[in-house]
Amino acid sequence: MTAHPTDQGSRDLAEFGYRQELNRTLSTTDLIVYGLVFMVPIAPWAIFGVVYNESKGMVPLVYLIGLVAMIFTALSYAQMSKAFPIAGSVYSYVGRGLHPVLGFFAGWTILLDYLLVPTLLYVFAAESMGGIFPGVPKPVWIVVFLLVNTAINYVGISFTAVVNRLFLAAELIFVVIFVIMAVVAIAKDVGGAQFTTTPLFNADLFTPGLAAAALSIAVLSFLGFDGIATLSEEAKGGRRSAGIAMITGLVLVALFFVTQTWLAAMLVPGVTEFGEDEVNNAFFSIVGSISSSGWEVAFLAMNALAVGIANAVAAQSATSRLLFSMSRDGRLPRFLAHINPKTKAPQRAILVVGGLTLVLGLLFVGQIDVISALVNFGALTAFLLLHVSVVGYYAVKRRSRNVLLHWVVPVLGFAIIGFVLWNADPLAKIGGVIWLAVGALVLLYYTRKGTGVLAEHAADPFREAESEVAR
């Protein structure tokens, strides 16, 4: 007889010294939906003008470059999530694939990303709502969105999955509406709009420097697919479920990004650059120009709700699971590992994330560039360690003969991520180094306490169960 997915998942956890505490109810489809919501299919709306100016009008090319760049990281995540189907994501992968100390720093750096992503989302959402209700202070919107999202996550992962599906459906409806509007406008030559492939590639304006700048922009846009790995202990689709969801979600969201931005770029013929007063609302102005002011406001509202609620709910879920995993191993305060027996959710971690995000959101109102730079540093540093862990675990320790997935993919992924990190904002590097220094102090404190699963594994960082599925 075939083992029940939940029973198999519990046995997988037992191999690594854990027991099933979270609610294992998510299908692979749920994981894909979660990833799409985290990456936001309508994400290009808010930054279309900025990316348009940076890319000389080749916005869809930016996202195609981003897809190619991030697919290597997604493939590396898929390999490690198959080997270690536990909630810690890159923290667990690097810790068990390389060394517990490196695993801690991988978790600590991705924590910078996960803590600041909700902050960034609330600031974005507050900016959008400010355009609709200019009389309401932006901090008020941050508090409202945060309270709603914390409540949704507090109820449990099953309810969160329902909310994810509803918001994804709403976002896709708006995508379809925009596509129809744009196609009709292009067919009718509204404002001189016409079909062209120039936004995909313009040989006259393309330069290697432009591609490099595009890469940095695109990496931030695709952050979120990795959050799927944090739900591994709540997935019922087996060891490969998270990996399949990550790659599928990444490709699908890239398709949405390219389609929308290609159409939007065709609707502004002759525009080489958006002015300072129009760059932040460029996409919404385009919607208004081919429809009405009512639709423009509706798109603004959808953007705010998608970012401020749906996307932030997903981000808060990922962050709380990472805190749960690290605290369970004794690398963060133990009280964060508490699971509510009724909802099977890490409710203390959820509340802590909510509190930290509230403070950071109010602190960073209006400072989108600073938050974005720090988010990039945290994610990229963790991704570098992820790629190293694939080579260390599969190619070196297990002596894998799969040269493509266990040598070529991680090496290329490391090179791409390394290039982006090397060219990151200097202030982000300084902030990132300070964050690493704080992490070193935290690690020293908990190492001296000598508690936690990782402490038990320190003498043999490659310890694993003999019954692990052959790869």
Label residue 197 by pLDDT band (50, 70, 90).
very high
pLDDT of residue 9: 82
Q: How far apart are CA 92 and CA 100, in angstroms?
A: 8
Whether 418 maps to a domain, the answer reads: yes
pLDDT of residue 355: 93
pLDDT at residue 457 greater than cutoff 70: no
**What average pLDDT score do residues 34-57 get?**
93
pLDDT at residue 206 greater than cutoff 50: yes
pLDDT at residue 391 greater than cutoff 90: yes
CB 217 within 8 A of CB 54: yes
pLDDT at residue 414 greater than cutoff 70: yes
Label residue 462 by pLDDT band (50, 70, 90).
very low
Q: How many domains does the chain have?
A: 1
pLDDT (tens digit per residue) in 272-310:
899 988 898 999 999 999 999 899 999 999 999 998 899
- CA of 430: how far to CAs of 4, 426, 434, in Å? 49, 6, 6
Whether 209 maps to a domain, the answer reads: yes
pLDDT (tens digit per residue) in 100-144:
999 999 999 999 999 888 888 888 888 878 878 888 998 899 999
CB 421 within 8 A of CB 377: yes
pLDDT at residue 86 greater than cutoff 60: yes
Mean pLDDT, the chain, whole residue set: 89
Can you read off the two tokens belonging to residue 162?
């329902």
Whether 177 maps to a domain, the answer reads: yes
DSSP classification of residue 2: P
Q: How far apart are CA 178 and CA 302, in angstroms?
A: 12
pLDDT of residue 212: 76
pLDDT (tens digit per residue) in 155-165:
999 999 999 99
Can you read off the two tokens belonging to residue 147?
């309270």
What CATH number does the domain containing 43 carry? 1.20.1740.10
CB 192 within 8 A of CB 269: yes
pLDDT of residue 463: 44
Whether 136 maps to a domain, the answer reads: yes
pLDDT at residue 220 greater than cutoff 90: no
Whether 7 maps to a domain, the answer reads: no
- CA of 63: how far to CAs of 58, 66, 117, in Å? 9, 5, 19
Q: How far apart are CA 301 and CA 128, in angstroms?
A: 7
pLDDT of residue 217: 75
Whether 377 maps to a domain, the answer reads: yes
pLDDT of residue 81: 95
SS3 label, residue 376:
helix
Pick the residue with more confidence: 423 or 180? Answer: 180
* Of the listed ranges 56-65, 131-140, 390-399, the one predicted with least confidence: 131-140
pLDDT of residue 323: 95
Question: By residue range, what is the domain housing residue 377?
Answer: 12-17+24-464
Residue 363 burial (CB count, 10 A): 10
pLDDT at residue 468 greater than cutoff 80: no
Q: Ramachandran region of residue 224, left (φ > 0), alpha (ψ -120 to 50) or beta?
A: left
Whats the size of the chain, residue-wise? 471
pLDDT (tens digit per residue) in 335-374:
999 999 999 999 999 999 999 998 988 887 767 777 888 8
Whether 470 maps to a domain, the answer reads: no
**What average pLDDT score do residues 21-34 get?**
95
pLDDT (tens digit per residue) in 241-269:
999 999 999 999 999 999 999 999 999 99
pLDDT of residue 4: 63
Residue 250: enclosing H or E segment and its boundaries? helix 241-266
Nearest Cα to 20, choosing from 324, 234, 230? 234
Residue 391 burial (CB count, 10 A): 20
pLDDT of residue 6: 65
pLDDT at residue 456 greater than cutoff 60: no
How distant is the alpha carbon of residue 347 from its chain centre? 21
